[in-house]
Amino acid sequence: MSETKKVIMLGNEAIARGAYEAGVKVSAAYPGTPSTEISEYLVQYKDDLYCEWSPNEKVATEVAIGASIIGTRAMCCMKHVGFNVAADPAYSMSYIGVNGGLVIVVADDPGLYSSQNEQDTRMVARAAQLPVLEPSDSSEAKEFMKMAFDLSERFDRPFVFRTTTRLAHSQGLVELGERKAVEDKPYEKDIRKTVMMPGNAKLRHIEIEKRNQELAEAANTLPINRVEMNDTKIGVITSGIPYQYVKEVLPEASVLKLGMVNPLPRKLIEDFASKVETLYIIEELDPVIEEQVKSWGVKTIGKEIFTVQGEYSANMIRTAILGEDLKIGTPAQVPVRPPILCPGCPHRSVYHVLSKLKLHVAGDIGCYTLGAVAPLSVVDTTVCMGSSISSLHGMEKAKGKEYIKNWVAAIGDSTFLHTGVNSLMNMVYNHGTGTVMILDNSTTGMTGHQDHAATGKTLQGDPTYAIDIPALCRAMGVKNVIEVNAFDLETLEKVVKEEVAKDEVSVIITKTPCVLLSKAKKPLYIAHADKCKKCGMCMKPGCPAMTKRPDETIYIDDTMCTGCGLCEKLCKFGAIELVKEGDR
Amino acid sequence: MAAKNIMIVGVGGQGTLLTSRILGGLAIAGGYDVKLSEVHGMAQRGGSVVTFVRYGENVAEPIVEEGQADVLIAFERLEALRYAHFLKEDGALIVNDWRIDPMPVVIGATEYPENIIETLKKDHKVYTVNATEESKKLGNPRVFNLIVLGIAAQHMDFTKEQWYDVIENTVPPKTIEINKQAFDVGYHLVSE
């Protein structure tokens, strides 16, 4: 092994590297933690491949499908909930199969670091009859990607590549390889394979059952599923990140490490089970492997002692299997520190106005979801991407237009383009009268500032046409489209009051870039203790740069203040003063 | 050697990701196997964040578990207290003696704990520095984490030259000198 070629890589970087080495030519994705960085690393290979941000995961998957059908290797990347958005093309592509290898990378989030649910992608993939590979560190992530493309073409199946937050955001050593020169497969028109109308799909269903059986049979001998035979007292079947915890806790145990978690290698599993005294199945989230293995009559212990929630750990397995008392000190009882809107965030200003007007907010997915928590406490609902507008419409249809006069929908620019557009179309079409606020901060914020169709720049860094969001709204028939600066409190308050009162759809666009986007020198404010009346007005929006001194007067942390000036506007006593001009 | 377990804790936006890049680079320079685990996404928005670094001959899991940390580097006092139980009995706790109020404290729903350093000293080997103030003296408050790392360096397995090399290869070129200066401040300031 050549030491010089070993580099440290984030799981997501290793996935991108694996795709590059596998000869991928097209990749499409919508950002979503913990999958986002795959595309951000992939773009460094743009001389050899094409990659893009698509407006949503369904579109991204279809882009990859098109490339696969005409014979090139293609992939798409998303988080677990994005796979739901992509379910429609994914289920049908399962019937079609592939021409060029096709891999759908899906990142799960056990422990909900950055998600609205904890669903298990292996369940979704099983329902779609899609095979699934799952790596357990960065090195495997790269190698498994290459295997995924080879297997995809060999068995004519799109492959799901499942990762989790821990894998995606852990770094480990990876040995670099060369990019494989992959010839495109010829495209030959064959509508029995690529036009999914009933007569064809019926035959394809039979075909893919056969293909999956062949794959399940092959899985018994594929090196991606590995038996590590040791002491036979304890045997463990595991995969992914939990494999690493098992190696920490039970270095002497026998382990069947599955790299392919769907379909399962039945013979290999039954053979392994027959050789060990006590068999455990250790898998995070749902008992996907366990339920199948138990259905074959194999005796095993799994979710009886392991949770279906959150992440696992070596300590947890140590306690559950070995019954060890770990003698860990008790954690101190300390205040929680939840994520918050950044100092200078334009969402804070908008939410302050909505809070002042005592409005309810049908919310959406993004940084602005954080408006649900104190002190802003203004967001009522968060369901999924795009749901703010459509659910507000549902409320109106249930209770009438007067009922929603103290409600607005709040959605970000990237989320609006993801699936909010359809919802707004529906509101106009079906005689809605709701008020929609597009909190346009010119980026996809929460995932770390990715471009989208309205930023004027592509993933590959090229300038492009920026979708005109106000014009798009007008084109759909919205007569009231108003643009306001998020920090112009007076105008914003006036506009919101006027628009919610109307019996027509209104779209208010608060266009102010995310404070983290600009590298310009920031202005700075200070609070004068002698002028401060301790009224607490400036503290209402919950800016993290502001604290109270022991005497209750206000103090602004100069390492955190970004000079947005919201506090100055709220102070009636002139106690807050601009002391340093910025460049913006 | 058995894997060495390092944790970096702080508040989202304090530069824990840069710090983990430096430690990852060091482990490679030292010829070790290494795994790191970090937090991206929502928690990076001002939340409590934790980074795990493990290096040694062979590293399996990428996280440091409760009771297992050799060195706990805290960029903020309250976060030191939150994660102190991750330390081994003889583990070193390095604390930036700096306070950032979490939102429940900002809005008056709860109090910021008093005498955190004294509390920690009862059970742990604690090394403190007000790195944020020290870094302001150097002219850039953002290099405070290198001051904290300078102290941590005394509890790790790398030479000063290795640290310098990795700093040079990791931070933006324009800030190499000030980051090295910051590292020196911490490296020469050891007060238990």
A337 touches chain B (CB under 8 A): yes
**pLDDT above 70: residue A182:** yes
Contact flag A373-B35 (C-beta cutoff 8 Å):
no
B20, B64, B95, B103, best to mutate vs chain A, most A CBs in 10 Å? B103
pLDDT of res. A102: 98
Name the A residues in 302-321 with CB < 8 Å from any B CB.
313-315
pLDDT digits (tens, 9 = 90+) for B49-75: 999 999 999 999 999 999 999 999 999
Sorted by sequence, the CB contacts under 8 Å of residue B42 that are 6+ apart come out as A33, A113, A114, A339, A446
Range of weakest confidence among A27-31, A259-263, B171-175: B171-175
pLDDT of res. B190: 65
Average confidence score pLDDT of chain A:
96
Number of other residues whose CB lies within 10 A of the CB of residue A534: 15
Per-residue tokens: B51: 């980074």
Burial class (CB in 10 A: 0-12, 13-18, 19+), A344: buried
**pLDDT above 70: residue B191:** no
| CA distance linking residue A488 with residue A484, whole number of Å | 7
Is ipTM > 0.90 here? yes
| CA distance linking residue B179 with residue A66, whole number of Å | 49
pLDDT of res. B98: 94
Range of weakest confidence among A237-251, A285-299, A566-580, B5-19: B5-19
Query: Least CA distance to B77: which residue of chain A?
Result: A334
Q: Which CATH class is domain A346-511?
A: alpha beta
Minimum-distance CB partner of B24 among A8, A313, A560: A8
**pLDDT above 80: residue A56:** yes
pLDDT digits (tens, 9 = 90+) for A68-99: 999 999 999 999 999 999 999 999 999 999 99
pLDDT of res. B192: 44
Residue B35's CATH number: 3.40.920.10
List the one residue out of A435, A321, A429, A342 whose CA is nearest residue A388.
Answer: A435
Tell me if B192 is assigned to some domain.
Answer: no
List the one residue out of B8, B45, B18 whose CA is nearest residue B143.
Answer: B18
Contact flag B61-A339 (C-beta cutoff 8 Å):
no
Name the A residues in 442-471 with CB < 8 Å from any B CB.
446-448
> Looking at domain A524-580, does it have CATH number 3.60.70.12?
no
Residue A281's DSSP bridge partners are A237
The pLDDT of A180-184, averaged and rounded, is: 96
> What is the nearest CA distance from B118 to chain A, expressed in angstroms?
14
> What is the nearest CA distance from B153 to chain A, expressed in angstroms?
21
Residues of the domain holding B69: 4-105+114-187
Number of other residues whose CB lies within 10 A of the CB of residue B187: 19
On chain B, the residues whose CB falls within 8 A of the CB of A170 are 35-38, 62-63
Residue boundaries of the structural domains of chain A: 3-219, 226-322, 346-511, 524-580
Tell me if B30 is assigned to some domain.
Answer: yes
The pLDDT of B89-113, averaged and rounded, is: 93
The pLDDT of A323-339, averaged and rounded, is: 89
On chain A, the residues whose CB falls within 8 A of the CB of B105 are 335, 547
Q: At the fourth CATH level, which superfamily is domain A3-219?
A: Thiamin diphosphate (ThDP)-binding fold, Pyr/PP domains (3.40.50.970)
Q: How confident is the model at residue A146 (pLDDT cuts 50, 70, 90)?
A: very high
Contact flag B141-A169 (C-beta cutoff 8 Å):
no
On chain A, the residues whose CB falls within 8 A of the CB of B102 are 335-338
Minimum-distance CB partner of B141 among A6, A338, A559: A559
Number of other residues whose CB lies within 10 A of the CB of residue B1: 9
Q: Which residue has the tokens 């750990």?
A: A313
Tell me if B31 is assigned to some domain.
Answer: yes
| CA distance linking residue A368 with residue A352, whole number of Å | 12
| CA distance linking residue A504 with residue A117, whole number of Å | 34
User: For residue A429, what are the CA distances in angstroms to A6, A70, A394, A426?
Assistant: 57, 37, 13, 5
Share of chain A above pLDDT 90, in %: 95
Minimum-distance CB partner of A337 among B24, B34, B48: B48
pLDDT of res. A217: 98
Minimum-distance CB partner of B28 among A8, A137, A367: A8
**pLDDT above 70: residue A272:** yes
Minimum-distance CB partner of B81 among A34, A137, A332: A332
SS3 assignment for A369-400? HHHHCCCCCCEEECCCCCHHHHHHHHHHHHHC
A339 touches chain B (CB under 8 A): yes
B26, B42, B175, best to mutate vs chain A, most A CBs in 10 Å? B42
Q: What is the pTM of this model?
A: 0.96
Contact flag A337-B102 (C-beta cutoff 8 Å):
yes
pLDDT of res. A2: 44
A96 within 8 A of A62, measured Cβ to Cβ: no
pLDDT digits (tens, 9 = 90+) for A518-550: 888 899 999 999 999 999 999 999 999 998 888
- A50-53/A26-29 β-pairing: parallel
On chain A, the residues whose CB falls within 8 A of the CB of B39 are 113, 169
A144 within 8 A of A161, measured Cβ to Cβ: yes
The pLDDT of A213-226, averaged and rounded, is: 98
B15 touches chain A (CB under 8 A): no
Contact flag A33-B82 (C-beta cutoff 8 Å):
no
Q: Is B152 helix (H, G, I), strand (E, B) or coil?
A: helix
pLDDT of res. B2: 87
Fold of A226-322: Rossmann fold (3.40.50)
How many interface pairs between A and B have CB atoms less than 8 angstroms apart?
174
On chain B, the residues whose CB falls within 8 A of the CB of A338 are 47, 102-103
- B4-11/A576-580 β-pairing: unpaired
**pLDDT above 50: residue A1:** no
**pLDDT above 80: residue B175:** yes
Per-residue tokens: A338: 């939840």
Q: Which H or E element spans position A61?
A: helix A57-69
Name the A residues in 240-269 with CB < 8 Å from any B CB.
241, 244-245, 247-248
The pLDDT of A560-566, averaged and rounded, is: 94
Domain count, chain B: 1
On chain B, the residues whose CB falls within 8 A of the CB of A447 are 41
pLDDT of res. A584: 53
Contact flag B33-A173 (C-beta cutoff 8 Å):
yes
Range of weakest confidence among A36-50, A156-170, A494-508, B13-27: B13-27
